[in-house]
Amino acid sequence: MKRRVVILTEIIAPYRIPVFNALAARAEVDLHLIFLAETDPGLRQWQVYRDEIRFSYEVLNSYRLRVGPFNVLPTRGVSAALRACNPEVIVCGGYNYLALWRAQQWALRRGVRFLLWSESNAFDARRNFAWVEAAKRRFIQSCDGYVVPGTSAAEYLKSFGVAPERIFVAPNAVDVELFSKGAEQARRDPGLHQRLGLPQRYLLYVGRFVRAKGVLDLLAAYATLPESIRREVGLVLAGDGEEREGLVRSSRKISPGKVLFPGFLQRDELSAFYGMAEALVFPTHSDPWGLVVNEAMACGLPVIVTDVAGCVAGMVRDGENGYVVGAAASESLSQAMGQLLSAPVLQQQMGHRSREISSGFTPQAWAEGLVRAVAGDFGEGRG
């Protein structure tokens, strides 16, 4: 039976378009997306690929401001948009904006099934204010069902008393085929390294330049690699953020070695950087998932990831397709990097295994999980 489903989420993120397209193609779902805003230029410079959108959607009127430690997104029109859609099921992408709370209240008053799509895990949880935690608990326990990307997020919800049978897994996904083909094309282009100004060998980081992402740990770890490795292998830090100037200053003190800052890369630029890299390093201190790991694995890269990343439980096999290290442990990070760089055969085997694992994290797999959740039997209701 086809159900009218509305997904309410923050912005039109480029990596979400393929998964929403896959869901819209399912015969069981009549899909509509409500975005609170088109993008977030203050945080990321993402391009919006409107020509690729194959689903019905609208963007609400909103603006951004910061109140103390909180990012606030005042939004108008969520109730009117829901009334116009008349959904049978609402899938809500989080609980961090007032509009999402209004949507839950709208659903409660009308008896509309309300699912929480949550990536939070115990490592990523923010527990600075007791009143915030109390409100979050109330929101979570007022949902009918839950959609999570994997084990870490499921365990976090269980800590709020959520019954396991109410939790459905829709694995976080990227367009695996797009990244895989882009990487292979880059590898077949012998002059690409030179045109992009890249070292012949390098480790890659993709993300924001903030302390919480562990990028300072990565630079410190690179600086302690044996000189023989640093003479041959560079470090490419792709992204932007508040720590950029400090990173650039510190990188100039590393000799031998080469650290490059190509800036923020759009989705269509990333495959080339992944394709020519030796490995992706994701040294985060706290992250609900880490989709750059999906992207890198689709491109056939080994990955070095900290144990707090939400993607680790489902995607990273320590010693099989990369290494898992402790967060904020630059010495362990350096050892893993050196071990990988010194074993080219193992590196190739790990990259092949990464590609195999990534084949299970496709937009179609995510859509299948959402369909199961929408059709799920949640027993006796909320709570």
Does residue 380 lie in a domain region?
A: no
pLDDT of 380 higher than 80: no
pLDDT of 44 higher than 90: no
58: confidence class by pLDDT, cuts 50, 70, 90 = very high
For 149, the domain range is 3-173+362-374
pLDDT digits (tens, 9 = 90+) for 302-349: 999 999 999 999 999 999 999 999 999 999 999 999 999 999 999 999
pLDDT digits (tens, 9 = 90+) for 224-251: 999 999 999 999 999 999 999 999 999 9
Q: The CATH number of the domain where 11 resides is what?
A: 3.40.50.2000
Confidence (pLDDT) at 382:
56
Q: Supply the DSSP string of 175-243, one letter for each residue.
A: -HHHHHHHHHHHHT-TTHHHHHT--SSEEEEES--SGGGTHHHHHHHHHTS-HHHHHH-EEEEE---TT
Confidence (pLDDT) at 219:
98
Confidence (pLDDT) at 159:
93
Confidence (pLDDT) at 213:
96
d(CA 131, CA 257): 48
d(CA 257, CA 200): 13
pLDDT of 157 higher than 60: yes
Asked which of 69-73, 117-121, 157-161 is least confident by mean pLDDT, the reply is 69-73
Are residues 206 and 255 located together in one domain of the fold? yes
d(CA 73, CA 10): 9
**Number of domains comprising the chain:** 2
- Using only the alpha carbons of the chain, give its radius of gyration: 21
Are residues 324 and 190 located together in one domain of the fold? yes
pLDDT digits (tens, 9 = 90+) for 80-98: 999 999 999 999 999 989 9
Are residues 203 and 316 located together in one domain of the fold? yes
Q: What is the mean pLDDT of the chain?
A: 93
By residue count, the chain amounts to 383
Residue 309 DSSP one-character state? B
Are residues 275 and 250 located together in one domain of the fold? yes
Confidence (pLDDT) at 70:
65
Burial of 188 (0-12, 13-18, 19+ CB in 10 A): exposed
Question: Please, what sign has the CA dihedral across residues 361, 362, 365, 369?
Answer: positive
Does residue 381 lie in a domain region?
A: no
Residue range 198-204: mean pLDDT, rounded: 97
Does residue 126 lie in a domain region?
A: yes
Structure tokens given for 141: 């326990």
pLDDT of 41 higher than 90: no
Are residues 26 and 118 located together in one domain of the fold? yes
Are residues 267 and 119 located together in one domain of the fold? no
Confidence (pLDDT) at 321:
98
Structure tokens given for 194: 């030179």
Confidence (pLDDT) at 1:
79
Does residue 379 lie in a domain region?
A: no
